[in-house]
Every structure is written in structure tokens, then in C-alpha cells.
Amino acid sequence: MTARRRDSLRIRPADNAGLRSPKKLRQRDLPSSSTSSSSSAGYASESMTALPQWMRLYFYGMHGVTLDIVLSSIRRFLDAYDLKLLGFSSPFLCIVHSLTHFVLEKVYMQKKCFRGRPVIFHFIFYPSLYIGLQILIGNIFTITDNIKVVSATQLVIHYILALYFSSVFHKGLLHLQYQCPEKRNHQAKAPAPEKAKRLPGLPGILRFVFFGMHGLLDEIVFTSVFNLFEKSEGWLNGHTSLWSFLMYGSCSFVVEKLYMHLHFEREWSTWMRLPIYIVFIYTWEFSWGLALRQYDACSWDYSHYPLNYMGLVTLLYLPGWVCLSLYQDILSNVLLRVVCTKEEVLFGTSVNGRPSSRKAVFKRCVD
């Protein structure tokens, strides 16, 4: 008995040390340097979710309007060889495109049912549903009249667009993630504001494309409302030029750089930045108009408006440019929270497009 008691006494210190070792290891696993680096990394990872539903619908509408303008401008160019590249769409079609793109998103999510058979999904299943949906929408307004007959050329165009949607558009959109502000506020150790400003965001080319599509949408909304009051048309139809994509994309891209520099580095207020925005916008519009007029490709002429200069710019549109400049800052702040990642993030079924499985998101962030 005494021998066993002595053996147990000899063993206890070793056991106690063995029990204490995990606690020491846990403390050693979290040094101060690693905690600071992991907190900054966690700031970017733990707050990541899929793009919110409202943002996707907003983007779907712009994308659909852009496709309308591209297709109609190409058709007009082939018919009349018009270098103005005028295209047509409407705010109502923007809403229709938002809803149809959302339906196509749900169709694309069924790709998981075709594992091992991607050819069937991308070349047969998705194009069939896409073409059927486009034909249905095309005939929905002529249901009381004659049904529109889709030509072979239109079927080919629809099929090419279906391949673009299934192979490029949806796949690329799944690589975009959104940093939720409400999640950042609930984190235990948030980084300094200086680090929060240096978010990677979207690549420059994607920001340029976004601003270009948004410019086309702005033009369609403005011209359709203007035509409604000026020409008393009962239907909202707008027009713009395909050149506006390059104009708005480049202009908004530079204005965003001005916003980042003047707001974050110099800490200028909105009303201090606004005159610089306006001067640059008018200079940019005049320069593009002057260059396009040399080739008879300028799609606007303000000669019949008051306060115009050479028919290329007019102070009559100053309130509109002011509103767009203020809205530009809002768009820039939103785009700062959108990040392009290497992994695809499937859109969940919960509210605002967040993944339905929070455990899966947490596991991915920890890994």
C-alpha cells in the first residue's frame, strides 16, 4: 500500500503537468503578433457574405439594359451604318431584366444536379430554359395580338447569350463577396479606420465596366422621362449611345479616384469636392463630344438649349450632374465593400442573399 501510494505521488506531478500543458499551448498559440495579424485578416474574412439580393437585382437591371443597348445599336449600325451607335431600352425593361436575371440565377444554381455532366447543363439544359424564357417575355405584351415568330437569327443570338450567361456571367458573379457593415461593428477586435479604408475592392476593369453600365442606365432613365414630358409619349422609351459606356465608365472611374484622394487623404467635405467633380464632368463631356463630332458620331446636340457652348455642353443639365456626382460617392462607398475572390460563393436562400449555412461560412473563414 505504501509503495502504491509513493508511485501515485510520483505520477501526480507528471499528470498535472500533462493536464496543464494544453492550457499553456493555447496561450502560446495566440501570441500578440499573430492576434493582431489575424484580427486584420478576420476583418476581411469573417464579414464576407454573398452579394445581397438587392445588389444583385440592381446589377441585373443594369446588365440587361446594357445588353438591350448593345444589341439595338449593332442592329442599327448594320442597317444604316450609323456611327452614333444609338441603342434603345426603357426603365420598365430594366425591372423585367432584374426579375428574369433573378430567375436565371435560380436556374444556374441547379448546376449541382448535373455533376459529372457539365456539357448537358451548359449546352442543353440552361440554353433551353433561357430561350424559352426570352420567347415568353417577348410575347407577353402581344398575347392578344399575333404571337411573335422567332427567326433563326434570333435563336442563334439567344443561344450565344445563354452560353455567355452560364459560362461567364453567373460564374463570375459567384466570385464576388460583400463585406457587411453590421458584421464589422460586432467584431471583437476591429482594425483601425486607416486599415478599413485600404480594402482591396474590385479590380479596376470591373469598376470601369460597372460605371459604364450604370451610365447607360442613367441615360435611359433620363431620356425616357424627358421624352415622356416633352413629347407626351405614353410609354417610357429611352435611348443612348454605345459611346456613353466608354464616356461614363472612364469619367466615373476618375471621379472615384478624386473621391478617394480628396475624402480619405485630404478629408475634404462633400461641398468642397463637388465643384471639382462638376468641372471635370463638363470638361470630359466637351472633350468627348468634340472628338466624336469629327467623325459624325456625336449623339447629342444642345444647340437649341439655353446656356450651351458649341452645342456640346449646357448649364441646363447642371442640377442633374450635381445629383449624379453626389450619388457617385454613394456608389464608391458600396463598391469598396465588394471584393473579388478566387472561391465561388453560392447564393443562399436566407435574407439578403446570405448563405443559409452559417457553420459552413465559419468553417471556411477558420480554414
Radius of gyration of the CA atoms of the chain, in A: 28
Longest dimension (CA), the chain: 113
pLDDT, the chain, mean: 78
Q: What are the tens digits of pLDDT across the range 136-168?
A: 887 665 544 455 667 888 899 999 999 999 999
pLDDT at 262 over 50: yes
Q: What are the tens digits of pLDDT across the range 332-366?
A: 999 988 988 887 776 653 334 444 443 443 344 33
Domain spans of the chain, in order of start: 48-201+342-367, 205-335
Q: Which of 52, 47, 49 is closest to 182 using CA atoms?
A: 47
Distances (CA, A) of 354 to 13, 93, 135, 366: 51, 27, 32, 18
pLDDT of residue 208: 95
Average pLDDT over residues 272-300: 95
When pLDDT is cut at 50, 70 and 90, the band that residue 187 belongs to is very low
Average pLDDT over residues 84-104: 93
Q: Are 52 and 353 in contact (CB under 8 A)?
A: yes
pLDDT of residue 106: 92
Q: 224: number of CA atoms within 13 Å, CB side?
A: 20
| 238-241 and 86-89 strand pairing | antiparallel
Average pLDDT over residues 194-217: 79
Average pLDDT over residues 70-81: 92
What pTM, to 2 d.p., does this model score?
Answer: 0.77
pLDDT at 222 over 50: yes
pLDDT of residue 321: 94
| Least confident interval from 50-64, 81-95, 130-144, 151-165 | 130-144
pLDDT at 87 over 80: yes
Q: Are 240 and 87 in contact (CB under 8 A)?
A: yes
pLDDT of residue 121: 92
For 3, the 3-state DSSP assignment is: helix
When pLDDT is cut at 50, 70 and 90, the band that residue 43 belongs to is very low
Higher-pLDDT residue of 154 and 217 is 217
DSSP state of 352: G
Q: Which residues lie closer than 8 Å to 162 by C-beta, 6 or more apart?
A: 126, 127, 130, 131
Proportion of the chain above pLDDT 70, given as a percent: 71
pLDDT at 30 over 80: no
Q: Is the dihedral of CA 355, 359, 365, 367 positive or negative?
A: negative
pLDDT at 298 over 90: yes
